[in-house]
């Protein structure tokens, strides 16, 4: 029952992330990818910690297994998310989401090689279909005005997301709590974002606050949607294999 439940939860999680990206894209009209990423990440961490203190064994956040969530949050929900939002800004939500889906291929390869998970024919075909989509998008760029080099941002994010999922799965095998794992990971991600945003603040490169305030409601909606997606994603990883859940 657990594998099928993991697949269903993963599908709902996957449906929420593109929806959140639409609101983020609208918010970028009044702000920047950097600021939007930081706001959404901070909101994710705050909500998850509030839930963790109510429902999770918070003392486990000091165990050595928490390091998997810390590293995963740093490279995934921190660095990868920033790269993803830059791609969203340059090539739009539809193309960006398609390329982020290539994370499925990376995730399966990592899970099979390093976690010993089984590669089935449906999973392999799904990964091939994702690669075909990337090739078609690269070909499309020749007929339009956007630069194919911008594809590198979501592709790099996809690889980092795949590594993140495998690290999170390792952590969840030891600390099987989706909310606590998400809280730790998103906290690490927020501090990662500070590494990018503090230099921008010092250089006064962020938009004026009156302009940013127009984006905050959109970022808040995106953050709420994204938080639910993250919780579902962690729960799916807890119940199922990376090679099944991540694609």
pLDDT tens by residue, 142-156:
556 666 778 888 889
Neighbours of 156 (CB within 10 A): 17
Q: Residue 80's CB: how many other CB atoms inside 10 A?
A: 27
Tell me the three state secondary structure of residue 145. Answer: coil
Specify the pTM.
0.77
CA-to-CA separations, 30 to 89, 150, 191, 213, in angstroms, rounded: 12, 21, 23, 8
28-45 pLDDT tens trace: 777 777 777 788 888 889
Residues 6 or more apart from 1 whose CB is under 8 A from it?
A: none
Q: Are 166 and 110 in contact (CB under 8 A)?
A: yes
Residue 212: what pLDDT? 65
Q: How many CB atoms lie within 10 A of CB 135?
A: 9
Give the whole-angstrom CA distance, residue 60 versus residue 243.
27
User: What number is the average pLDDT over the span 195-213?
Assistant: 68
- Please report, for residues 26, 107, 163, 230, the alpha-carbon distance to residue 182 in angstroms, rounded to integers and kept in the order given: 26, 19, 15, 7
Tens of pLDDT, residue by residue over 75-90, are 988 888 788 878 877 7
Q: How far is residue 183's CA from residue 53's CA, in Å, rounded to a whole number?
A: 10
Confidence band for 178, pLDDT divided at 50, 70 and 90 = confident
The band of 21, judged by pLDDT with boundaries at 50, 70 and 90, is: confident
């Amino acid at each position: 029952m657990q594998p099928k439940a993991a697949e269903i939860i993963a599908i709902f999680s996957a449906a929420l992330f593109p929806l959140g990206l639409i609101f983020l894209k609208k918010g970028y009209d009044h702000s920047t990818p950097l600021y939007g990423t930081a706001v959404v990440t901070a909101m994710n961490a705050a909500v998850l910690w509030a839930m963790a203190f109510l429902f999770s064994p918070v003392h486990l956040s000091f165990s050595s297994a928490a390091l998997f969530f810390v590293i995963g949050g740093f490279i995934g929900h921190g660095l990868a998310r920033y790269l993803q939002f830059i791609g969203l800004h340059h090539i739009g939500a539809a193309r960006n989401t398609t390329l982020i889906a290539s994370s499925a291929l990376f995730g399966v390869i990592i899970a099979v090689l390093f976690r010993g998970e089984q590669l089935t024919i449906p999973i392999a075909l799904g990964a091939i279909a994702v690669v075909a989509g990337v090739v078609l998008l690269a070909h499309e760029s020749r007929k339009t005005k956007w630069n194919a080099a911008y594809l590198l941002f979501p592709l790099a994010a996809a690889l980092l997301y795949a590594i993140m999922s495998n690290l999170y799965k390792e952590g969840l095998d030891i600390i099987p709590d989706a909310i606590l794992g998400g809280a730790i990971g998103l906290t690490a991600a927020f501090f990662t974002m500070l590494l990018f945003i503090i230099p921008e603040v010092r250089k006064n490169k962020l938009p004026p606050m009156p302009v940013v305030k127009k984006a905050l409601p959109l970022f808040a909606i995106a953050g709420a949607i994204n938080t639910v997606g993250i919780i579902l994603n962690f729960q799916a990883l807890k119940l199922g294999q990376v090679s099944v859940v991540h694609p």
